[in-house]
Amino acid sequence: MADQDGQKIAKNYEVGVAFASQGSFYVKGANNLDWGMKKHLSNIFDPKSGNTVMFAFDHGYFMGSTAGLERLDLVIPKLMPGVDCLMGTRGALRTCVPAENRKAIALRVSSGSSMLNEDLSHEIISVDVEDAIRMNADCMAVQTFIGADGQLSSIDNLSRTINAGLRYSIPTLGVVAVGKNMERTDRFFKLATRIVSEMGCQIIKTYFCDNFEQIVAACPVPIVVAGGKKLPESEALTLAYRSMQGGARGLDMGRNIFQSEHSAQMVQAIRKIVHEGFTDKEAWQFFQEAIQ
Ligand code: R5P
């Protein structure tokens, strides 16, 4: 472990310089992966735009029945047409998502805490890779708690999942968790995203923050941005736009979609930003017209 005294501050991110190891495959950091991994990644990231609209509805794994997700069986089919990738637990996917759907699947494989716990950072791997294979999952999502009490076990969970994913060519989505006592600064997200990417995952989910473009530049795999708590729709669209402008390759929103009174129109407005280059103002106008 390197001596940490007198550490220089990282600053040379060369934000305007393109990723140098891109090769011929369009997903960042994936050029040296095998065909199976690339196939899964191309199910998630649209080959034309290179981006993805993920829809997160895995909240029940620790929050129970969440406002807007009371009836997974009704909500998911309604929103499915507007999304590229469905992110949920195997319980929700198997029971409430029609098997004949053509969407990519991000399968949550870690769990272990609930809203009743003060510290949410202690999880286990609750889904075997064999079940991820049976479900034809395009990636396996693991929560990581950098700087929290459960850091070591979450890195163990992440590493086991990446190792299993590499055996069977299934990408791993490392989810950077934030908690009550955890920072939400660019300093924290730079640390966390880089640690998680160097563990070997193929996709990272994190939050938007100041200097986001530096986080993207220093991360050798694609980043998708989490939505967080419900915002007014215009602000959520600005968050989506700023994330994409900062170099994200997609959004993985939950509450800002399913808690909107006009959730189907909201997902279509996000789609305009992610795939068609709309600005936040253009997407807001689209949304307002769509709800008339
Ligand atoms: C990450 O912690 C989980 O995937 C959450 O369920 C998801 O990120 C929540 O999405 P949102 O914050 O956009 O509601």
Buried-exposed string 106-118: b where 16+ CB fall within 10 A, e elsewhere: bbbbbbbbeeeee
Q: How confident is the model at residue 181 (pLDDT cuts 50, 70, 90)?
A: low
Structure tokens at 49: 């735009």
Of the candidate ranges 4-8, 27-31, 59-63, the one whose mean pLDDT is the lowest:
4-8
Cα(227) to centroid(ligand 1), Å: 7
- Percentage of residues in the chain having pLDDT higher than 70: 98
> Which amino acid is residue 200, in one-letter code?
G
Residue 179 scores a pLDDT above 90: no
Ligand 1 atom nearest residue 141's Cα:
4
Active-site residue (options: 38, 205, 230, 272): 205
DSSP letter string over 205-216? EE---TTHHHHH
Q: How confident is the model at residue 10 (pLDDT cuts 50, 70, 90)?
A: confident
What's the pLDDT score for residue 107?
98
Nearest to 219, CA basis, from 248, 183, 239, 182? 248
Residue 82 scores a pLDDT above 70: yes
Nearest to 84, CA basis, from 212, 237, 270? 270
Helix segments in the chain, DSSP class H: 35-44, 60-63, 72-79, 90-96, 129-134, 151-168, 186-199, 212-217, 233-245, 255-258, 263-276, 280-290
- pTM for the structure as a whole: 0.96
- Residue 272 beta carbon below 6 angstroms from any ligand 1 atom: no
Distance of CA 168 to the CA centre of its chain: 21
Average confidence (pLDDT) over 12-39 = 95
Per-residue pLDDT of 114-140, as tens digits, reads 888 888 889 999 999 999 999 999 999
Which residue is closest in CA terms to ligand 1's atom 10? Answer: 254
What's the pLDDT score for residue 292?
92
Residues in the chain: 292
Identify the bridge partners of residue 125 per DSSP, sorted by sequence position: 110
- Residue 254 beta carbon below 6 angstroms from any ligand 1 atom: yes
- Is residue 48 part of the annotated active site? The answer reads no
> What Cα–Cα distance (Å) separates residue 126 from each residue in 44, 157, 160, 163, 171?
23, 10, 12, 15, 17
